[in-house]
Structure 1
Amino acid sequence: MLASLSLLGWPGGAPALSILIYHRVLPAPDPLRPGEIDAALFEAQVRFLARHFTLMTVSDAAKALREGRLPRRAACITFDDGYADNLTVAHPLLSRLGAPATLFVATGYLNGGRMFSDTVIEFVRKAQGPTLNLSGIGMGTHAISTAEERLMAITALQVQLKYLAPQERDAKVQQMLAAHPVGALPDDLMLTDDQLRQWAAAGHEVGGHTVDHTVLTTLTPDAAREQVQTGRACLERLTGVPVRSFAYPNGRPARDYDATHAAMLRELGFEAAVSTAAGVARPGADPFQLPRYTPWGRSITMFAARMMRNARMGGPAALV
């Protein structure tokens, strides 16, 4: 009831498109993944969205935006990277509520791959001892006696790795694993080819997200184009469906992508691209840098309030 009442203050004027970012949907909360939503909260959020918004895929919403027929309150549920629990945990909830979603897939991690950020999490989870000493490879020493300390160690290690070039990052991850062996890490975090086909066959959208989630501004123009084209070709081959939308890895305007990347996507025939800048898209918004944000909040009342606050913000500044 309070959540519904809070939307009475939804900004007036032109229709607004809210695009929400999710990554994993966990069966239960995980203290080492505090930023990931669990199934119960995800279901509550989707129920709220289905009740108060017109839910659309990103490509359909971008088309409606261009054609001037976007509903007053429209929303997109999006997932980044290609996690298996998007199908096994999230999809049954989406299906039950009749909610479409868009999944942006980094194709290099399908079929048993693991993103570097997940490798760090699972590595720290399994590490033994009160401290994790990686000073010999220039990655510092980290206390890991408590869940809070492990989480701090995870954050510190991910920050060190995030903006390295792919080969350098992979080599550093291997050094980390060799410096403090922890045994086998999970190889079932990401979708398989068959699971991706199931997702697409269910009527959800599949969008591009490069091959290995490399930040485009760290690449040469040719390398960036190769990342985009190779990932797209793989997705279209697997699903038999055209890939019309794209999510910039990391997604911060100017730092992670720029005007040349937006122009490249337009040239390649994409119809929409999403950033990680806060705000909503209104008529006239640039379809190649649609704003998108993470729906923080453990209660639906807080979720609704933050969606309304986000709707009062502008979208990304024009790229130059």
Structure 2
Amino acid sequence: MAGGLQCLDTVLGRRVSVLTFHRVQPQQDPLFPLEMHAARFDALLGSIARSFQVLTLGEAHAALKSGKLPARALVMTFDDGYADNATVALPLLRRHGLRATFFVSTGFLDGGRMWNDTVIETIRASQKPELDLAAFGLGRFPLASPAQRRAAIDAVLPKIKYQPLDQREPLIAKLREATGHPDLPDDLMMRSEQVRELHAAGMEIGGHTVRHPILTETPDDQARDEILRGRAALEGLIGAPVKVFAYPNGVPDRDYDLRHVAMVREAGFRCAVSTAPGPVCRGRDDFQWPRFTPWDAGDAAWFARLMLCRYGRQAAPQAGRP
């Protein structure tokens, strides 16, 4: 595998694949069976270590700019700042001698919870046999099985996702009322000391705003403040510059646009990533690097999709965590 990749990079030109992860759970989640979990991540890291030269995003950016990008270059990134990035992913990365880049939304550290996780965990924990979502313009959803709960989650999330920050909370309150106000976890996201632990272990820390807003749905002054305050909070935590950034949600022209690219550049970041698929080659905009999302259930299918993304026609990624 490694030799073949090196030959392709020689013929087609040096390039880097940037992977996107979110959570790495201790065991497979019945609601999100394609989401990464410890056993699968461990096996995948072994394959990655044998096949690729793994860099942090900052290292890959500097190497590409200088013309010194190694063959088979690959970057692993983690979005949002989930606690299992530190408790599950970090020990496995260390075992395989690999480094990664972690984009952290600072507003959820130390006991916070992202809005989408409130939706997910509210529906997961509801004791009701059926969920009435008339308040969202939807129907009734049975909750007898994980698949039925997932269907309810998938229906609700788009109704809230593109709402401004100040309009999300009333909608979530309606959902909480409909589900019977179940108890929710307060340990999904990292604590401040876990961010410092990642940095001390040689991992790269990147900006991801404070509260993870959809930037195109956010007034410009508020969007700029989210970008700047998130970076300042991280630099205060780790005592080092934060040079890389990931746009929340990250779909170009839908979740962010050229206004926000300019904000990130003016803030002093050196490189930023989107969620558009594809490889990174010389000449790519430093502030709109694409990424690949590995949702395939089997490693063979995952590698096949990655090769299509890296060297050929991009195959659409399978649906994973919303």
Question: Could you say whether these structures have the same fold, taking a TM-score greater than 0.5 normalized by the shorter chain as the test?
Answer: yes
Q: Does the 8 A contact of 1:163 with 1:215 survive in 2? A: yes
Amino acid at match of 1:190: M
Identity over aligned pairs, percent: 46
Q: Which residue of 2 aligns with 1:318?
A: none
Task: Give the distance between the partners of 1:313 and 1:248, measured in 2 at CA.
Answer: 25
Query: How far is 1:225 from its partner?
Result: 0.5
Task: Give the distance between the partners of 1:4 and 1:236, measured in 2 at CA.
Answer: 36
Q: Which residue of 2 aligns with 1:214?
A: 213
Q: Does the 8 A contact of 1:94 with 1:100 survive in 2? A: yes
Task: Give the distance between the partners of 2:51 and 2:182, measured in 1 at CA.
Answer: 47
Query: How far is 1:183 from its partner?
Result: 2.7
Matches within 5 A, 1:149-228: 149-228=148-227
Task: Give the distance between the partners of 1:35 and 1:275, measured in 2 at CA.
Answer: 21
Q: Which residue of 2 aligns with 1:98?
A: 97
For 1:237, what is the secondary structure of its paired residue? Answer: helix
Amino acid at match of 1:76: V
Q: Which residue of 2 aligns with 1:303?
A: 302
For 1:25, what is the secondary structure of its paired residue? Answer: coil
Deviations 1:102-140 (A, max 9, x none): 010111110111111111111111112331113246554
For 2:195, what is the secondary structure of its paired residue? Answer: helix
Query: How far is 1:267 from its partner?
Result: 1.3
Query: How far is 1:300 from its partner?
Result: 2.2
Runs of at least 5 residues in structure 1 that lack an aligned partner in the other structure: 316-320
Does 2:63 correspond to 1:80?
no
Query: How far is 1:179 from its partner?
Result: 3.2
Q: Which residue of 1 aligns with 2:265?
A: 266
Task: Give the distance between the partners of 2:128 and 2:220, measured in 1 at CA.
Answer: 44
When residues 181 and 26 of structure 1 are mapped into structure 2, their CA distance, relative to the original with a 3 A threshold, is same
Query: How far is 1:215 from its partner?
Result: 1.0
Deviations 1:142-195 (A, max 9, x none): 221221111110111111111011111022112221333243200000000111
Does 2:233 correspond to 1:253?
no
Q: Which residue of 2 aligns with 1:24?
A: 23
Task: Give the distance between the partners of 2:181 and 2:88, measured in 1 at CA.
Answer: 28
Task: Give the distance between the partners of 1:67 and 1:171, measured in 2 at CA.
Answer: 49
For 2:16, what is the secondary structure of its paired residue? Answer: strand
For 2:110, what is the secondary structure of its paired residue? Answer: coil
Q: Which residue of 2 aligns with 1:244?
A: 243
Runs of at least 5 residues in structure 2 that lack an aligned partner in the other structure: 315-322
Runs of 4+ in structure 1 off by over 6 angstroms are 3-6
Q: Does the 8 A contact of 1:7 with 1:304 survive in 2? A: no
For 1:18, what is the secondary structure of its paired residue? Answer: strand
Query: How far is 1:297 from its partner?
Result: 2.1
Q: Which residue of 2 aligns with 1:69?
A: 68
Count of aligned pairs: 313
Task: Give the distance between the partners of 1:267 and 1:26, measured in 2 at CA.
Answer: 36
Q: Which residue of 1 aligns with 2:318?
A: none
When residues 211 and 117 of structure 1 are mapped into structure 2, their CA distance, relative to the original with a 3 A threshold, is same
Task: Give the distance between the partners of 1:171 and 1:268, measured in 2 at CA.
Answer: 32
Deviations 1:246-288 (A, max 9, x none): 0001111111111121122111110000000111001111110
Query: What is the TM-score normalised by the length of structure 1?
Result: 0.93
Q: Does the 8 A contact of 1:52 with 1:73 survive in 2? A: yes
When residues 219 and 46 of structure 1 are mapped into structure 2, their CA distance, relative to the original with a 3 A threshold, is same
When residues 5 and 65 of structure 1 are mapped into structure 2, their CA distance, relative to the original with a 3 A threshold, is closer
Q: Which one is further off, 26-35 or 209-218?
A: 26-35
Q: Does the 8 A contact of 2:246 with 2:274 survive in 1? A: yes
Task: Give the distance between the partners of 2:226 and 2:76, measured in 1 at CA.
Answer: 24
Q: Does the 8 A contact of 1:6 with 1:305 survive in 2? A: no
Q: Does the 8 A contact of 1:139 with 1:160 survive in 2? A: no
Amino acid at match of 2:287: F
Deviations 1:53-75 (A, max 9, x none): 11111111111111111112111
Query: What is the TM-score normalised by the length of structure 2?
Result: 0.92
Query: How far is 1:313 from its partner?
Result: 4.8
Task: Please tell me the root mean square deviation across aligned C-alpha atoms, in Å.
Answer: 1.8
When residues 185 and 258 of structure 1 are mapped into structure 2, their CA distance, relative to the original with a 3 A threshold, is same
Matches within 5 A, 1:45-64: 45-64=44-63
Task: Give the distance between the partners of 1:299 and 1:314, measured in 2 at CA.
Answer: 20
Q: Does the 8 A contact of 1:297 with 1:303 survive in 2? A: yes
Q: Does the 8 A contact of 1:27 with 1:39 survive in 2? A: yes
